[in-house]
Amino acid sequence: MPRTQRRQERQATLSDVLPSNTWRDPRPEVRIEHLGEGCIVWLPAKDENETGTITCIRDSCCSNRELTKEGYNHPVLVLKIKQDGICSFAQVTSKQRESRNRRDRRIDRLIISHNPPTDLEAALTGALYLEKGRMNRQSYVRTDHIFDIQVAQLRTCSFPLESKPFDTRLRRQSYKYLAQTFDLHEYGSWVPTALLIKACGGYKPPLPQAVPVHQGTSPTAGVRERLAAERNARALVGNRTTPTPQLNAQTPLLSSIISSWQVDRTRRRKEWNGTARRDLEANRRGPPPNNGTGSLLLQLGYLLGFAGIGIIGYLAARALSKGSRSLVRGLTRAHATSSYTGLAGPMVLSATAVIRSVYSEYITTD
């Protein structure tokens, strides 16, 4: 087989095994709990977009214009986080300006300044300032289109694995100015960066807005109107033809179960309180006073006890005196018969003398 034919077969085999496009953006994926309004993140290439075509959602703008190929593989600025893991973003570009709108002469982009503002509390207009991070080059935010995308399709601007979407973020004043430029409503759901670090970002429901009170009307007029609207809504719900489920007569209602449980708990609490009160009163009064019968029986018991102790002591003394008397008599006989000699004789005499001296008042010798 010729060498060129073998080389062609080898190349064909490799092309069949390897996919045509295996490259993916190595930047870490964005986690929605670390994402907030004003964060600048990375939009990967169009080939990696798994959600379909990205089109403009701004009203009366361009009739849902599709995002151009130049908009991919570029940083984007998060304008608003919505439900179901969707966020709105604006394009970030390094091109200064393409053209002006000839009708109203509006500039279609705002510059992102690399220098901090001189007055942090003053209203920031004409430029956007970063709270964290820094752009690699002079960048601008385009204010002509707004796009929606799944947060899972976004990446961080930096390549390290520990990178987070809030590493590059606008100041709150700059984001407020940008939201007003886009005519975004409910932009007050700003989450501080300190909470994004603790994974407290993501979608936040809009705050309830206060109803303005017109001059010349009562302050409670709005409350009355709201209550009337609620009554009308309840009436409409009650007039629906949807049949309401009927409860079984044998099935106790939750309200009756709760009420009986509360009554039983109140009864047990009253009984316990009465018992505790009686115990406290008994402790406060002290032990009951002794009557005459009780004290007499107690004294009689004492007398019987002392008498028993005396009798037992007397009997023990008699028994001891009898035993000592017999011992002394035996020692005397032994001395008289001279059965003990040597050292035994003086020892017997000494023991006899000791016993006689101790029990002299109980012993009477013959």
Task: Indicate the domain borders of the chain.
Answer: 25-197, 294-358
pLDDT at 162: 94
pLDDT at 279: 76
Residue type, 201: G
Length of the chain: 366
pLDDT at 9: 46
Residue the block writes with tokens 């009170």: 213
Q: How far is CA 303 from the centre of its chain?
A: 73
Buried b (16+ CB within 10 A) or exposed e, 340-366: eeeeeeeebeeebeebeeebeeebeee
Q: Would the pTM of this model clear 0.75, i.e. be above it?
A: no
pLDDT at 314: 85
Contact 131, 172 (CB under 8 A): yes
pLDDT at 105: 56
pLDDT at 25: 83
Q: How far is CA 354 from the centre of its chain?
A: 90
Per-residue pLDDT of the chain (366 residues; tens, 9 = 90+): 555 445 444 443 433 333 444 567 899 999 999 999 999 999 999 988 887 889 999 887 788 889 999 999 999 999 999 988 999 999 999 998 755 555 555 678 999 998 888 776 555 677 899 999 999 999 999 998 999 999 999 999 999 999 999 999 999 999 988 988 888 766 657 899 999 999 999 887 765 554 454 455 554 555 667 777 777 776 665 554 444 444 444 444 555 556 676 777 777 777 777 777 777 777 777 665 555 556 788 888 888 888 888 888 888 888 777 776 776 676 666 655 544 445 455 665 666 666 666 556 555 544
pLDDT at 118: 75
Which two tokens mark 224?
């009355």
Task: Determine whether 76 is exposed, middle or buried from the number of CB atoms within 10 Å of its CB (0-12, 13-18, 19+).
Answer: buried
